[in-house]
Amino acid sequence: MTATLLLVFALGVLPTQDPAPNSDTAAKVTSAYRHDGPAVLNNTDKTPGATREGCTTAEICAADFRTGPVRDTIVNWDKLKLTVCDLYGLKPTECDARVEGDHLVSIELCGSPNSPSNVWPQPYKPEPGAKQKDVVENYLHVQVCAGKMPLATAVDWIRTDWYTVYLFTTGALKELPAQPPVPAASIVPLAKPVAAPAAPRALKPEDPVTTQTAPQKPRS
């Protein structure tokens, strides 16, 4: 009889086990990731971002737009997540609830649902992480649909440095530059918007579409 079983009989209790990893547990962050301050960012070579062919501003800003029908086209999501985890040096046992298989360019910004170039293993922690990026996705969608930012610019922000936009939404950054400061790797070209947007300018907190309340995602 093993020492463990003897202990169980003697104490009448089972030995405790470590809890399963969850989104509140810090994920492994390998050298494949980029960083901006405390934020963990995508590797622009491994995950440059990709958009859906034919997707336009008019589509994603329509009153009846829902992400559900686009998500329904996803094929073998679990395998895709494992594939991109491997690209970032994460073992299958590390590709768990601690990381989100995230669409870098969100579906509400015309992101491709199935392309490995648009999916990356984004940690929930350390923060800001996956949940904070959701705030940025919502904010950029509102800006695009309010005509305050071209869709292509929103896509460039989300795929290069979403953290800078996050700082702006929290008030920590007083002005958002008109364009992302860091160029990224090539991306599948966006479809031409229905209407030519106004020339981009730096956004400020006093603009009509503010950042005090995080906008809601389109319902699936």
pLDDT tens column, 53-87: 999 999 999 999 999 999 988 888 999 999 999 99
Residue 12 placed within a domain: no
3-state secondary structure the chain: CCHHHHHHHHHCCCCCCCCCCCCCCCCCCCCCCEEECCEEECCCCCCCCCECCCCCHHHHCCCCCCCHHHHCCCCCHHHHHHHHHHHCCCCHHHCCCCEEEEECCCHHHCECCCCHHHEEEEECCCCCCHHHHHHHHHHHHHHHHCCCCCHHHHHHHHHHCHHHHHHHHHCCCCCECCCCCCCCCCCCCCCCCCCCCCCCCCECCCCCCCCCCCCCCCCC
Give the pLDDT mean for 98-108: 94
Residue 9 has pLDDT above 70, yes or no: no
Rounded Cα distance between 212 and 94, Å, is: 35
β-bridge mates for residue 176, sequence order: 203
Higher-confidence position of 108 and 15: 108
Residue 19 placed within a domain: no
Residue 209 placed within a domain: yes
Residue 23 placed within a domain: no
Q: Are 81 and 101 in contact (CB under 8 A)?
A: yes
Rounded Cα distance between 131 and 123, Å, is: 9
Residue 107 placed within a domain: yes
Residue 142 placed within a domain: yes
* DSSP-derived pairing of the beta strands 119-123 and 99-103: antiparallel
Domain hosting 70: range is 30-220
β-bridge mates for residue 41, sequence order: 34
Task: Report the mean per-residue pLDDT for the chain.
Answer: 78
Residue 7 placed within a domain: no
Say how many domains are in the chain: 1
Residue 181 has pLDDT above 80, yes or no: no
Higher-confidence position of 100 and 28: 100
Residue 94 has pLDDT above 70, yes or no: yes
pLDDT score at 61? 96
Around 28, how many Cα atoms within 13 Å sit in the side-chain half-sphere? 15
Give the pLDDT mean for 89-95: 92
pLDDT score at 178? 84
pLDDT band at 1 (very low <50, low <70, confident <90, very high): low
Whether the pTM exceeds 0.75: the reply is: no
pLDDT score at 3? 52
pLDDT score at 2? 52
The structure tokens listed for 158 are 């989300």
Residue 3 placed within a domain: no
Higher-confidence position of 146 and 35: 146
pLDDT tens column, 123-159: 998 899 999 999 999 999 999 999 999 999 999 999 9
User: How far, in Å, are 4, 124, 136, 174, 176 from residue 168 at the CA level?
Assistant: 54, 20, 9, 6, 6
Give the pLDDT mean for 191-217: 42
